[in-house]
Amino acid sequence: MSQDKPELHRGLRDVYMDRSKSSFIDGQAGKLLYRGYNIHDLAEYSTFEEIVYLLLYEKLPNAKELEDFDSCLRMNRELPEEILEIIKLISNAHPMDVLRTTVSALAAFDPDVSDNSPEATLRKGVRLTAKAPTIVAAHSRIRNGKDPVSPDPRLNHAGNFLKMLFDKEPDPDDSKVIDKDFVLHAEHGVNASSFAARVAASTQADLHSAVSSGVAVLKGPSHGGAAEEIMKMALDIGSEENAESYVKDLLSERKRIMGFGHRVYKALDPRAIHLRDDARQLGERKGEPKWFSILQAVSQVMEPYSKRGICQNVDFFSGAIYYLLGIPDDLFISIFAMGRIPGWTVQVLEQFENNILLRPRLMYVGPMDLEFKPLSER
């Protein structure tokens, strides 16, 4: 009996799989909201700690709530010695591989690991958010033959990361730049890594499993890896004058210009606006304005493509920011991941709240009903 041919949605483009209260994206207008609040207001006036609270608890904190929550984050930054030993054993691995492995290993030390209740999942999300910068900074130092730097309870989330990474008091302006970067990366709907986290959660796996899945997927260059490639492009270009010919040569070879285009946004990514301003100011402050000038020149060459919906995305200026802060290029994706852990946590919470196993189908296009022959007859 024949069946109607199913409709195929390759890449699940524009497929709505569930309802969400965590973030809203209007790709045509270039609009992003976290819990109903515009990303422009959040980027300019809030801190990462406030954003984590907003995403996890569905409201902006008052002063006392923020103070208590910030204290909780600071109290949970330390890593077990066993995790530091694991980092030493795999110190030659890519930072994202180290982050994925240690997030998974932390499950063995979490008292709530098997408890998928909302309360326990929130506690685990806070702990993973707090510990991720410690993992990334410790690995960066260990692989370079240096001792890890202990978390500094005096400093906020962003400042503490810079202190642990470079073993010196961070410039307050640099901390503000990283803080805003975390804010802008905190949540973005059911992108590839969040979808992976939801798939894991739909099987009733724990948060550590879901976040490990998210980290694994974020590593891919089509998702989180673009910032590293963009900075490599800027270094190859070398000067503003070379940008036009460089970009046109790539386009003539039908190659992609990294940092442009997005599966959802057909207008300028609203997050890119803030990173653009930070990249310009940071370049001027560090005495290296040329990197912003190069990226601006690339942007000008790509301007005609904006009419086709190919605009700057969040990655375009972030690589230059990290580079100007002296952060190694293979840590760029890890910084993205540090900011995204609250987003993955809230996606898992929503999946648990109204769970259904995520199990799509594949349309089979291979041969049918072949005759099997024993090995002796093949």
Residues labelled catalytic: 262, 315
**CA atoms lying within 13 Å on the CB side of residue 288:** 15
Decide if 218 contacts 336 (C-beta within 8 A): yes
What is the distance between the alpha carbons of residues 351 and 358, in angstroms, rounded to a whole number? 10
Pairwise CA distance, residues 184 & 362, whole Å: 35
Closest to 11 measured CA to CA, from 229, 222, 254: 222
The full length of the chain comes to 378
Number of CB atoms found within 10 A of residue 363's CB:
9
Pairing of strands 31-34, 37-38: antiparallel
Coil/strand/helix, residue 111: coil
Asked if 325 and 90 count as a contact pair (C-beta separation under 8 A), the reply is no
